[in-house]
Amino acid sequence: VGCGICAAVCPRGVLKLENGSVDIDKRTDELKGLLL
């Protein structure tokens, strides 16, 4: 999935990787909005 940034910003991102990729997609979209 390539959510290294997600894990760096929010440690819970690592757990979300195992639980559901949907939350990850939402989180990555939010991070993209912040980065962009």
- 6 Cβ neighbours under 8 A, 6+ residues apart: 13, 16, 17, 24, 27, 28, 31
pTM of the model: 0.28
Contact 28, 3 (CB under 8 A): yes
Inter-axis angle of helices 21-35 and 12-19, to 10 degrees?
A: 140
Domain ranges for the chain: 4-35
pLDDT at 30: 76
Whole-number pLDDT of residue 23: 63
Separation of CA 10 from chain center: 8
Give the pLDDT confidence score for residue 13 in this predicted structure: 54
Q: What is the pLDDT along the chain (36 residues), one digit of tens a residue?
A: 455 666 566 665 555 555 555 666 777 777 777 766
**Residue 28: what pLDDT?**
75
Please give the pLDDT value at position 16: 55
